[in-house]
């Protein structure tokens, strides 16, 4: 290459692509590693791996696929996040480059779309298809729908970052794609001929939206069309006039802030996932010829209904301690740190928000599950319950209330269990805490797995279980008392805060013990009660919550 | 020129022997500052001099590991509610919850301060031309500064701490902020501490000035006394010196040939004596601005 000549990378298109490559080299390496690991797993399964190993490998592969695929979408999303302004958008620096808007749109969209589609096909052909036999889900169709969805999300994220109601538009687009994606699976075959034209319209309009949106951005119209803006301003004005003049207390204000930041995430994500997954399972079961309205579907529905909120809350628990999710640093935001509120008060507001969020999550789950039962013509289950003597619908509904409360309690526990470590604002503490929890969980699982096969160990454990649980409980209480004494000396906790934490723990533990008592009486096994009751007190977080004000003080006063 | 150390009863802020290191970097070194009630103190110094670190100690965001910090006689770490309930603070980074609307932020802040003056807040809202419905993330830098200032002023705090309040702002917004400070000072008993790079602002508003350099207090006194303690002079030499003359007491020496300008710390008599020692005479002198003093002290002895 002679001096002064332009290599492929030195053209505007090459430079744009090079930037993606330069920023995401490590991601691509991880992606390749995940793909290789999954291929190796497939090879192991094909060459007769143990059933248990096979299950683990399938879980690993599916996790690798999901993680890698989502990561790939972010790689080619070409979206800059402005944490200070909490908005996503096209990298602003590129808008000033002497490159046509069409090129700015097409380069990341076409290239990203091609890579995403190819990667999906590779995964589907080599890894997913051998594991999941879904003849009805044509991989090309699936890839095209995902590509369209990806393009739409890009187009909306790039365009008009300040336009009000953008999230609502994204939600509508997601629902449209879900509908279009399911078209080939729907029983109404009259729609089948329209599936590809509908998708083509979506793909073309995505490109057009991106082109128009980015064009408006380059003209400085970041807030979108003036009419939409005016409408939203009027709506906001009307809404603001209707809001309360002031909060009744500092707790009320802090709870409001916490709720606005995080309160709706768990209910929203859970309900959204269930809203999508339940009909998919129903349709897939229909396609595979299994009895969609039978016991299998109900089993899956109940399992998912119970598992999804608990799993998502476990994942979200890692973030609940943060006061501002999009702040780059883990330090307490200044606008909270300088408020005249005790550390204990800030913690209690967070705990209350988590409880309210857990409650709303389960109510949302109930609504979505009942909705799909009705829509999918499986509501006969509910009416059938009325015929089961001696309960009836009302009695079952009342009987479910304690179970619902137990689920709410467990979801809340998942959310707040790591709050003490998170509030320190130090990543290494969170890492240590997570490591400790993982080691403890592995040790417990190992112990119980060993007991499953070893009769002597099982009988020893059964014999000593109450004593072991009591010892653990005493240790838990002793650690908590030590923490409270330390906090009291440092003046980071008030008696009221101690009362809330201890009172909440006792109430939760007594509720579990009482409910266990009722169940044990019903199944005539009184020996189970003590371990379950003690287990309830042990599972509910106490030292984690007790240490939270001290952890926050460590973060707030560095 | 030492700023008098008032008794703890008079001092709103009392910092003594405060030191802080961040790794190998010394951020504060044996800093002692006392601010009496009703005064306006300008905290000046170059970037990284330790101004924000000192302010963070006053707010309790940093814990005093060596030395002591008292605000209203209280330890801001041990009693954050007691201290922060009486302090208004505007951060250099305009660290505001960008997802909130201006009205929501005001409503949220109001809940923490029983003394919130709703009439005054409404007046400031109008004066600063802020729209309560607008989201903070859509505000300009100046509007964000005004929003932060409104939230810091509306409960009429006894102590107002402003960290680089006019950093990156246009002259109109800077004027608004300065006027708000001046009005605050007019309120009897209110105390203001503000850090700034713009020393003309400090000269206009502050009655006391503390200058930090590499974490140490190098100047601490009444603004006029600090200025009067320095002389900007032109020295004339009979024979042009080959290099910048080494003048005892001079913080900066610039020039060439037979005429050199010095910024001298001391009295006129001391300047004349020092000049005579290097074979020069004073041909022109005036009181320097704070800006000149800071640049001279930060920039070294000679250039």
Three-state secondary structure of B116-158: CCHHHHHHHHHHCCCCCCCEHHHCCHHHHHHHHHHHHHCCCCC
B98, B101, B138: residue with CB nearest A240: B101
User: Tens of pLDDT along A295-322?
Assistant: 566 677 777 778 888 888 888 887 888 8
Contacts of A261 in chain B (CB under 8 A): 99
Q: The complex's ipTM?
A: 0.81
B87 touches chain A (CB under 8 A): yes
Secondary structure of residue B53 in the 3-state scheme: helix
Q: Which of A159, A145, A144 is nearest to A104 (CA)?
A: A159
Phi/psi at A67 (5° precision): -60, -50
Number of domains in chain A: 3
* pLDDT band per the 50, 70, 90 thresholds, residue B301: very low
Does B132 sit within 8 Å of A333, measured CB to CB? no
In CATH terms, the fold of domain B229-299 is Alpha-Beta Plaits (3.30.70)
Does A237 sit within 8 Å of B78, measured CB to CB? no
Answer yes or no: do A57 and A187 share one domain: yes
Range(s) of the domain holding residue A487: 452-558
Domain-located, residue A22? yes
- Tell me, what's the pLDDT at B303? 37
Answer yes or no: do A461 and A503 share one domain: yes
Answer yes or no: do A52 and A144 share one domain: yes
Domain-located, residue A461? yes
**Closest CA of chain A from B256, distance in Å:** 45
Does B101 sit within 8 Å of A86, measured CB to CB? no
Judged by average pLDDT, the poorest of A472-481, B50-59, B234-243 is B234-243
Q: Between 3.40.50.300, 3.40.50.10470, 3.30.2010.30, 3.40.50.970, what CATH number should domain B11-225 receive?
A: 3.40.50.300
User: Tens of pLDDT along A187-221?
Assistant: 655 666 778 888 899 999 999 988 888 887 777 66
User: Tens of pLDDT along A176-192?
Assistant: 887 787 777 666 556 66
Per-residue b/e over B183-199, b at no fewer than 16 CB within 10 Å?
Answer: ebbeeeebbbbbbbbbb
A240, A252, A324: residue with CB nearest B111: A252
Q: How far apart are the first and last CA of chain A?
A: 56
Domain-located, residue A326? yes
- Find, in chain B, the residue whose alpha carbon is nearest to that of A342: B81
Domain-located, residue A549? yes
Are the C-beta atoms of residues A125 and A118 closer than 8 Å to each other?
no
Percentage of the residues of chain A whose pLDDT score is greater than 70: 77
Answer yes or no: do A39 and A166 share one domain: yes
Instruction: Report how far residue A461's alpha carbon sits from residue A467's, in angstroms, rounded to the nearest whole number.
Output: 10
Contacts of B84 in chain A (CB under 8 A): 338-340
Does B103 sit within 8 Å of A250, measured CB to CB? no
pLDDT above 70: residue B7: no
User: Tens of pLDDT along B281-297?
Assistant: 888 888 888 888 888 88
Residue ending a domain, choose from A201, A236, A271: A236
- Tell me, what's the pLDDT at A532? 87
Answer yes or no: do A79 and A166 share one domain: yes
Judged by average pLDDT, the poorest of A154-163, A484-493, B205-214 is A154-163
Secondary structure of residue B292 in the 3-state scheme: helix
Contacts of B61 in chain A (CB under 8 A): 334, 337-338, 556-558
Instruction: Report how far residue A116's alpha carbon sits from residue A147's, in angstroms, rounded to the nearest whole number.
Output: 7
Answer yes or no: do A21 and A161 share one domain: yes
**Reported pTM:** 0.76
Contacts of A557 in chain B (CB under 8 A): 60-63, 77, 80
Does B99 sit within 8 Å of A260, measured CB to CB? yes
Answer yes or no: do A360 and A469 share one domain: no
Answer yes or no: do A358 and A461 share one domain: no
Does B110 sit within 8 Å of A338, measured CB to CB? no
For chain B, domain boundaries:
11-225, 229-299
Are the C-beta atoms of residues A275 and A364 closer than 8 Å to each other?
no
Domain-located, residue A552? yes
Supply A40's token pair: 């190796």
User: How many whole angstroms from its chain centre is CA B168?
Assistant: 16
Domain-located, residue A324? yes
B60 touches chain A (CB under 8 A): yes
Bridge partners of B69? B15
**Closest CA of chain A from B146, distance in Å:** 14
Q: In this structure, are strands B40-44 and B191-195 parallel, antiparallel, or unpaired?
A: parallel
Answer yes or no: do A476 and A515 share one domain: yes
- Tell me, what's the pLDDT at B93? 75
Are the C-beta atoms of residues B36 and B12 closer than 8 Å to each other?
yes
Answer yes or no: do A21 and A166 share one domain: yes
- Tell me, what's the pLDDT at B302? 39
B98 touches chain A (CB under 8 A): yes
- B167-173 average pLDDT score: 75
């Amino acid at each position: 290459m002679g001096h002064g000549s332009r290599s492929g990378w030195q053209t505007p298109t090459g430079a744009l692509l090079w930037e993606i490559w330069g920023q995401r080299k490590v991601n691509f390496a991880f992606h390749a590693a995940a793909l290789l690991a999954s291929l190796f797993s497939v090879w192991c399964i094909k060459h007769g791996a143990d059933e248990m190993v096979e299950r683990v490998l399938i879980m690993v592969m599916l996790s690798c696929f999901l993680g890698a695929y989502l990561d790939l979408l972010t790689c080619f999303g070409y979206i800059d996040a402005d944490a200070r302004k909490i908005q996503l958008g096209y990298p602003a620096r590129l808008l000033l480059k002497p490159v046509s808007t069409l090129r700015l749109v097409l380069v990341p969209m076409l290239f990203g779309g091609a890579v995403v589609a190819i990667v999906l096909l590779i995964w589907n052909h080599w890894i997913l298809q051998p594991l999941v036999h879904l003849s009805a889900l044509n991989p090309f169709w699936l890839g095209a729908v995902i590509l369209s969805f990806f393009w739409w999300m890009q187009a909306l994220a790039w365009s008009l970052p300040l336009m009000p109601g953008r999230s609502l538009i994204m939600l509508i687009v997601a629902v449209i794609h879900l509908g279009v994606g399911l078209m080939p699976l729907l029983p109404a075959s009259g729609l089948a001929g329209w599936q590809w034209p509908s998708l083509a319209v979506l793909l073309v309009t995505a490109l057009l939206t991106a082109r128009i949106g980015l064009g408006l951005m380059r003209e400085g119209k970041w807030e979108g069309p003036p009419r939409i803006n005016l409408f939203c301003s009027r709506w906001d004005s009307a809404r603001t006039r209707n809001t309360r003049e002031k909060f009744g207390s500092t707790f009320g204000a802090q709870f409001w802030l916490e709720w606005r930041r995080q309160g709706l995430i768990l209910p929203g994500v859970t309900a959204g996932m269930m809203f999508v997954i339940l009909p998919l399972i129903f349709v897939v079961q229909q396609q595979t010829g299994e009895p969609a309205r039978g016991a299998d579907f109900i089993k899956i529905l109940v399992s998912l209904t119970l598992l999804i909120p608990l799993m998502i809350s476990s994942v979200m628990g890692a973030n609940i301690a943060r006061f501002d999710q999009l702040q780059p640093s883990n330090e307490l935001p200044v606008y909270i740190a300088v408020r005249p509120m005790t550390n204990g008060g800030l913690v209690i507001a967070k705990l209350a928000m988590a409880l309210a969020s857990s409650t709303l999550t389960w109510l949302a789950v109930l609504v979505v599950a009942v909705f799909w039962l009705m829509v999918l013509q499986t509501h006969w289950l509910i009416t059938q319950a009325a015929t089961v003597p001696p309960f009836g619908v009302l009695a079952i509904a009342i009987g479910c209330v304690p179970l619902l409360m137990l689920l709410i309690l467990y979801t809340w526990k998942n959310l707040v269990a790591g709050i003490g470590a998170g509030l320190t604002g130090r990543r290494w503490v969170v890492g240590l805490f997570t490591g400790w929890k993982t080691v403890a969980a592995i040790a417990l699982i190992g112990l119980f797995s060993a007991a499953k096969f070893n009769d002597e160990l099982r009988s020893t454990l059964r014999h000593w279980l109450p004593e072991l649980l009591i010892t653990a409980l005493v240790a838990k209480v002793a650690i908590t008392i030590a923490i409270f004494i330390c906090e009291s000396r440092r003046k980071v906790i008030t008696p009221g805060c101690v009362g809330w934490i201890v009172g909440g723990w006792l109430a939760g533990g007594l509720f579990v013990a009482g409910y266990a008592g009722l169940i044990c009486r019903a199944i005539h096994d009184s020996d189970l009660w003590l371990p379950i009751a003690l287990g309830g007190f042990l599972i509910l977080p106490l030292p984690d919550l007790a240490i939270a004000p001290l952890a926050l003080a460590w973060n707030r006063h560095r | 020129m030492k700023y008098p150390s008032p008794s703890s009863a008079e001092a709103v802020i009392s910092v003594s022997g405060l030191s802080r290191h961040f790794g190998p970097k010394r951020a504060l070194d044996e800093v002692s500052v006392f601010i009496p009630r009703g005064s306006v103190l300008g905290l000046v110094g170059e970037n990284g001099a330790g101004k924000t670190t000192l302010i963070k100690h006053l707010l309790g965001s940093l814990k005093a590991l060596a030395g002591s910090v008292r605000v209203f006689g209280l330890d801001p770490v041990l009693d954050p509610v007691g201290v922060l309930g009486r302090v208004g603070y505007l951060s250099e980074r305009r660290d505001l919850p960008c997802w909130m609307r201006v009205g929501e932020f005001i409503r949220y802040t109001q809940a923490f301060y029983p003394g919130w003056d709703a009439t005054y807040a409404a007046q400031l809202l109008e004066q600063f031309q802020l729209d309560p419905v607008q989201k903070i993330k859509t505000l300009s830098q100046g509007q964000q500064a005004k929003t932060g200032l409104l939230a810091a002023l509306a409960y009429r705090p006894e102590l107002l701490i402003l960290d680089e309040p006019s950093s990156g702002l246009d002259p109109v917004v800077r004027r608004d902020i300065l006027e708000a400070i001046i009005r605050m000072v007019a309120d009897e008993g209110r105390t203001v501490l503000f850090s700034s790079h713009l020393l003309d602002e400090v000269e206009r508003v502050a009655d006391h000035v503390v200058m930090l350099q590499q974490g140490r207090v190098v100047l601490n006194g009444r603004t006029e006394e600090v200025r009067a303690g320095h002389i900007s002079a032109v020295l004339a030499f009979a024979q042009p010196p080959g290099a910048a003359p080494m003048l005892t007491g001079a913080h900066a020496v610039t020039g060439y040939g037979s005429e050199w300008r010095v910024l001298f710390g001391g009295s006129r008599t001391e300047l004349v004596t020092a000049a005579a020692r290097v074979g020069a005479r004073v041909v022109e002198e005036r009181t320097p601005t704070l800006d000149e003093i800071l640049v001279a002290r930060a920039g070294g002895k000679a250039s």
